[in-house]
Amino acid sequence: MSEPAITPALVAQHGLTPEEYDRLQAILGRPPSYTELGIFSVMWSEHCSYKNTRPLLRTFPTRGRSVLVGAGEENAGILDIGDGLAIAFKIESHNHPSAVEPFQGAATGVGGIIRDIFTMGARPVCAMDSLRFGPITGSSADEARLANNRRLFAGVVSGVAHYGNCFGIPTLAGEVGFDPSYEGNPLVNVFCLGVLRHEQIARGAAQGLGNPVFYVGPATGRDGLAGAAFASQDLTEASAQHQRGAVQVGDPFMEKLVCEACLELLATGAVAGMQDMGAAGLTCSTCETAARAGTGIEIELSKVPQRAPHMTPYEIMLSESQERMLVIVHQGREEEVKRIFDKWDLPWAEIGVVTGTGRMVVKHQGRVVADIPAKPIATESPVYEREAREPGYLAGVRAFTLAGLPDTTDPTAALLHLLAWPTIASKNWVYRQYDHMVRDGSVVCPGSDAAVIRLKADALPPRPAAGTETGGAPPTVEKFLALTVDCNGTYVYLDPYEGSKIAVTEAARNLACSGATPVGVTDNLNFGNPHHPELFWQLRESVRGLAEACRAFQTPVTGGNCSLYNQSPAGAIDPTPTIAMVGVIARPEHITTQWFKDPGDVILLLGPAVDPADPLGGLGGSAYLQVLHGQKTGRPPRCELDQGRTLHEALRSLIYGGAVKSAHDCSDGGLAVALAECCISHQVARETPRLIGAAIELGADGSGTVAAPNPPRLDALLFGETQHRVLITTTALDAPKVRAQAKILGVTATELGVVGGDQLRLRAQGQEWRWSVVELHDRWWHALARAMA
Partner 1 sequence: MRFAILQFPASNCDQDCLHAVRLLGHQADYVWHKATSLGDADAVVIPGGFSYGDYLRCGAIARFSPVMQAVQRFADEGGLVLGICNGFQILCEAGLLPGALIRNRSLQFRCEQVFLKTAAHDAPFTEAIPPDHVLRIPIAHGEGCYFADEPTLAALETHRQILWQYCDAGGAVTEAANPNGSLRNIAGICNQARNVAGLMPHPDRASETLLGSADGRRIFESMAQCWARRRAA
Catalytic residue list? 47, 94
Task: Specify the residue, 5 or 685, whose C-beta has the smaller distance to partner 1.
Answer: 685
HSE (side-chain half, CA atoms, 13 Å) at 657? 18
Interaction of residue 161 with partner 1, rule CB under 8 A: yes
Would you tell me how many other CB atoms lie within 10 Å of the CB of residue 523? 30
CA dist 538 and 532 (Å) reads 10
Task: Specify the residue, 338 or 551, whose C-beta has the smaller distance to partner 1.
Answer: 338
Interaction of residue 789 with partner 1, rule CB under 8 A: no
**Identity of residue 513:** C
Per-residue binder mask for partner 1 (CB under 8 A), 451-480, x = binder: ---x-x-x---------xxxx---------
Applying CB under 8 A, which of residues 166, 209, 394, 707 lies at the interface with partner 1?
A: 166
Question: Looking at 456-575, which runs of residues are DSSP E strands?
Answer: 479-486, 517-526, 557-563, 567-568, 571-572
CB of 423 to partner 1, least distance (A): 22
Task: Specify the residue, 256 or 292, whose C-beta has the smaller distance to partner 1.
Answer: 256
DSSP character at residue 712: P
Closest CA to 543 of 581, 511, 579, 510: 579
Interaction of residue 566 with partner 1, rule CB under 8 A: no
CB of 257 to partner 1, least distance (A): 6
Task: Specify the residue, 19 or 687, whose C-beta has the smaller distance to partner 1.
Answer: 687
- Residue 744, classified by CB atoms within 10 Å of its CB into exposed (0-12), middle (13-18) or buried (19+), is exposed
Task: Specify the residue, 104 or 522, whose C-beta has the smaller distance to partner 1.
Answer: 104
Interaction of residue 347 with partner 1, rule CB under 8 A: no
Interaction of residue 115 with partner 1, rule CB under 8 A: no
Interaction of residue 443 with partner 1, rule CB under 8 A: yes
CA dist 318 and 95 (Å) reads 20
Interaction of residue 129 with partner 1, rule CB under 8 A: no
Closest CA to 679 of 667, 668, 695, 655: 695
CB of 79 to partner 1, least distance (A): 24
Interaction of residue 230 with partner 1, rule CB under 8 A: no
By CB under 8 A, what part of segment 66-95 binds partner 1? none
By CB under 8 A, what part of segment 169-208 binds partner 1? none
Contacts with partner 1 by CB under 8 A: the residue count is 42
Applying CB under 8 A, which of residues 436, 648, 661, 682 lies at the interface with partner 1?
A: 436
Among the candidate windows 358-366, 376-384, 679-687, 719-727, which touches partner 1 by CB under 8 A? 679-687
Applying CB under 8 A, which of residues 96, 324, 427, 439 lies at the interface with partner 1?
A: 439
Applying CB under 8 A, which of residues 63, 65, 587, 686 lies at the interface with partner 1?
A: 686
CA dist 430 and 452 (Å) reads 18
8 Å CB contact between 167 and 256: yes
CB of 778 to partner 1, least distance (A): 14
CA dist 95 and 63 (Å) reads 29
- DSSP string for 413-463: HHHHHHHHSTTTS--HHHHTTS--STTS-EEE-BTBSSEEEEE-GGGSPPP
Applying CB under 8 A, which of residues 84, 138, 168, 382 lies at the interface with partner 1?
A: 168
Contacts of 689 (CB under 8 A, 6+ apart): 680, 682, 683, 777, 781
Interaction of residue 589 with partner 1, rule CB under 8 A: no
DSSP β-ladder status, 662-665 and 726-730:
antiparallel
8 Å CB contact between 669 and 488: no
Closest CA to 636 of 542, 561, 550: 542
Closest CA to 418 of 628, 620, 635: 628
Q: Which residues bind partner 1 (CB under 8 A)?
A: 158, 161, 165-168, 251-254, 256-257, 344-345, 431-443, 445, 454, 456, 458, 468-471, 588, 683-688
